Amino acid sequence: MSVATASALSVLHSDAFRGPGDLADVTAKMVGGKAHKLLVLHTLGLPVPPFFVLPVGADCDRDAIIGARRRLPPGPVAVRSSAVGEDAAGLSFAGQFDTRLEVDSDEALLAAIAEVRASVTSERLTAYAERHGVPLSGLGIAVVVQAMFPSDASGVLFTVDPAATPTDDAARVILISAGWGLGEGIVSGRADADVVRLSGRPGAFEVTTELADKRAAVVRGPSGGTVEAEVPEARRHVPCLTDAQAVALADLGLRLEAHFGLPQDIEWAVDAAGSIALLQSRPLTGVGPRTGVVYTWDNSNIVESYSGVTTPLTYSFARTAYETVYRQFCELMGVTRQDIEANAAVFKAMIGLIRGRVYYRLDSWYRCLLLLPGARYNKRFMEQMMGVAQKADLGGESRTGKLRIAYLVWKLMAALGSLGSRTERFRTTFRTVYDRWHGQALETLPAEDLVAAYRELERELLLEWKAPIINDFFAMIFFGVLKKMAPELHNDLLCGEPGMESTLPTREILAMAKAIRDDPTLRQAIEAGSPAEGLAAARAFPAFESWLVSYLDRYGDRCMEELKLETRTLRDDPTFLVSTLRNYVGRADLTSEAMDTREASVRRAAEDAVVIPFGKRTLFRWILRRARRHVRERENLRFARTRVFGLVRRLFRALGGHFVRVGLLDEVDDVFYLEKDEVFGLVEGTGTTVHVKPLVASRRAEFERYRRGPSPDARFETRGGVHFGNPFVGVASPTAAPSGDPNLLSGLGCAPGIVRERARIVHSPKDDVRLDGQILVCERTDPGWVPLFPTAGGLLVERGSALSHSAIVAREFGIPTVVGIPGLMKRVRDGQMVELDGKAGTARLLPDE
């Protein structure tokens, strides 16, 4: 809605505002502070009763007002003021203007509006303004007319205790005053209220309620308006809120605090059915905003590598890897050593750990981009690769001069030209170093030799990880350019790429499934009993045993959560292979050849259909070749990373065994609750303590609390000290498509095709999942999920990006796929009919047949 449109209207109705973008030209000066806040809450999708606003100075005739009321639900309305400057951070004007509740007739509505407007000249307001030194001359007043909410209980919520100063999110106390009836009784002090305190972390609050003797409540009068009534004896000592309702209110409050960046004072109500309504929100006066630097955290894509709670050892190893690799990358791209050292803190903070979960710290990634030429363009491509749903400002400008940019571009093109030979050298070095240690019985080596082995891996591989990171960068660039040149066909054009190593494990399982299908005796053995029993029976067959040993040697580290060092891999427990083989054996149509044929057909059709202007065709063919090559190599080089992590996992487990034998730890797996340098310190004498058992016990308890509690939001901001009271919540994203159709979910289309099938919700591939063409629905995937793909008719993933592993492999297998669908797991029911369109990037929820 434009300013011109808004100012021409005498009435602004809440149903005209569909999303935050609609508020771009509607300011608090037009509608006052309260109305503007209500519009913000409404466009954020929060539970706000419908309303309309008579803007400041608007000439609203009777017909316009009555017409606007007819668009509200039938029933009484509330009439409230909304003054310019009201609900500001330093001054609330609370209770200074008149409010009329339970207004019934149209004549009563017109009278109430006049009375509320007249309150701008009241003696009460004049005295308040004089006391606070506020001139009344510029105080404009708008009016909010809102459908009355049938309040059974109501009150006020403070997102922080004004008398407390929490030093971390665990120390936060949220206060709720709750009484029976309408909130007017609580705000005016005419009704007694329970005091509810929620302490601890969001999602794991401890709720305590101090019951009041609630003798009075403000309720609707017999002929409209409000009256004070006696509370029945049976309700006087009953809590107005259940613990669940208090937690739900607290969660809404924290989302508003995160959105506005200030602690909030929120008026709320609950009806007899337990539904919640927010009636207004304003800054909590007397409590300043969070100050200090703002960090933006996002785990949209990294959750594919580090899902759920990640232990200290894995995090400390991963953080060092990110720091080392991206310093190398900037050096290769021509960034001076002086600039790299000046940004040392940036490289150390590429990722962070929030309640045990790994997050990108996006400000570090954006600042890293500013060191390179073309930062503005690369930003868009990076956000596509990382699956970042909400875009952010770079927060600065590259100050690189023209000559420096020319040099950096030359370095960029030189890196591209030498990437092929650099990749081959990396593969040769990787194979030499990996083979040196892969076949050794690491648990038999002395502890100091294990540390030396790690140092060698770090020196020979991690410090020489240039080829994979350069290839990742160019995969990001060329995929982004291809998508821009062929927005409808870019995914189809990437189908059917030969030499994708990440598909080999699944193709081998398909081949073994055929061999089992052709051998009735082996099939009977592997399908008997539990997966563990089937595995034991099948290993009695020499051909299967030989295949299994070979498979585990080559692919035993490729599993769910393979980059988490604490993960038990297929080498430790190969029963997942049995579940997958059972899934494949009954599907004779599942063959590598059939998938290749289907993918080649999609690829050829896309090549025939793409339309490129004549003068750009040579450039397009080059871009397409490069995109295919770098996306393929991205997957192949990631397999090298998987194997390195597998070797590091074995090294640390072996060190854990040493620590158990000398009494430093109780269990081998305790080693994962130490940080990398703490582990080495025990061997090399560089640590600060040898009494690590209490440290491990404390961390185990802390991380177990993180596992039991809910995850922080996928994206949020922190202000000041990260663990100084920040709630780690953002504002929920809408789940409906731009059309507003509640049954249409939108994400990123990654692999083409339309499928109409029942949804199968899967939380872990470790479950004994049987799929036969259903649509696989999950929160996120990693390489451990890939064996489920061939038996799925389609794939819907809540998290991820167009360059995530699941998207690339699903495209290679020809499985229609949509990723990055906000709220997917809450919207889709197991067994529900869904129509998936992999090209359009949508999923339509269908009625039960």
Q: Does residue 642 belong to any structural domain of this protein?
A: yes
Q: What CA–CA distance (Å, rounded) separates 383 from 392?
A: 9
Q: Does residue 244 belong to any structural domain of this protein?
A: yes
Q: What CA–CA distance (Å, rounded) separates 101 from 224?
A: 8
Same domain, 271 and 376: no
CB atoms within 10 A of CB 376: 11
Same domain, 242 and 108: no
CB atoms within 10 A of CB 187: 20
HSE-CB at 423 with a 13 A cutoff on CA atoms is 20
Task: Read off the pLDDT of each residue in 262-285 and give the average, rounded to a whole number.
Answer: 90
Q: How many domains does the chain have?
A: 4
CATH number assigned to the domain comprising residue 190: 3.30.470.20
* Percent of the chain whose predicted confidence (pLDDT) is above 70: 87
Same domain, 439 and 341: yes
Structural domain including 788 reads: 744-845
So what's the pLDDT on residue 569?
92
Q: Does residue 457 belong to any structural domain of this protein?
A: yes
Token digits of residue 610: 């793409």
Nearest to 838 by CA among 806, 288, 825: 806
So what's the pLDDT on residue 5?
42
Q: Does residue 337 belong to any structural domain of this protein?
A: yes
Same domain, 816 and 679: no
Same domain, 139 and 159: no
CA angle, residues 537, 540, 541, in degrees to nearest 5: 110
Distances 47 to 41, 439, 671, 743 between C-alpha atoms, Å: 8, 60, 47, 19
Q: What CA–CA distance (Å, rounded) separates 42 from 167?
A: 32
Q: Which amino acid is located at 150 in the chain?
A: P
> Residue 361 belongs to what H/E stretch?
strand 357-361
Nearest to 252 by CA among 148, 159, 150, 175: 159
HSE-CB at 654 with a 13 A cutoff on CA atoms is 21
92 within 8 A of 265, measured Cβ to Cβ = yes
So what's the pLDDT on residue 181?
92
So what's the pLDDT on residue 735?
39
Same domain, 30 and 136: yes
Token digits of residue 596: 């290749």
Q: Does residue 165 belong to any structural domain of this protein?
A: yes
So what's the pLDDT on residue 184?
83
Distances 763 to 357, 366, 569, 579, 804 between C-alpha atoms, Å: 18, 33, 18, 15, 18
Same domain, 142 and 182: no
Q: How many residues does the chain have?
A: 849
Q: What CA–CA distance (Å, rounded) separates 94 from 73?
A: 27
So what's the pLDDT on residue 588?
87
Q: What CA–CA distance (Å, rounded) separates 449 from 451?
A: 5
pLDDT digits (tens, 9 = 90+) for 692-711: 999 999 999 999 988 877 67
Q: Does residue 296 belong to any structural domain of this protein?
A: no
Task: Read off the pLDDT of each residue in 209-223 and give the average, rounded to a whole number.
Answer: 88
* Of the residues 690, 710, 730, the one at which a domain ends: 710
Q: What is the pTM of this model?
A: 0.71
Task: Read off the pLDDT of each residue in 777-785 and give the average, rounded to a whole number.
Answer: 87
Q: Which residue has the tokens 């049976």?
A: 234
> What distance lies between CA 67 and its chain's CA centroid?
42
Same domain, 189 and 220: yes
Same domain, 133 and 158: no
Distances 802 to 141, 394, 508, 656 between C-alpha atoms, Å: 49, 22, 26, 38
Same domain, 19 and 143: yes
**Residue 433 pLDDT > 90, yes or no?**
yes
Higher pLDDT, 737 or 277: 277
* Of the residues 106, 125, 147, the one at which a domain ends: 147
**Residue 10 pLDDT > 90, yes or no?**
no
Q: 362-366, 406-410, 607-611: which range is least confident on average?
A: 406-410
Same domain, 141 and 68: yes
Task: Read off the pLDDT of each residue in 375-393 and give the average, rounded to a whole number.
Answer: 55
* Of the residues 691, 710, 729, the one at which a domain ends: 710
Q: Does residue 15 belong to any structural domain of this protein?
A: yes
Same domain, 325 and 465: yes
Q: Does residue 502 belong to any structural domain of this protein?
A: no
Which residues, listed in sequence order, are joined to residue 758 by a DSSP beta bridge?
833
Higher pLDDT, 6 or 243: 243
Q: For the chain, give the mean pLDDT.
A: 85
> Residue 547 belongs to what H/E stretch?
helix 542-555
pLDDT digits (tens, 9 = 90+) for 733-771: 433 334 457 789 999 898 889 999 999 999 887 776 788
So what's the pLDDT on residue 117?
83
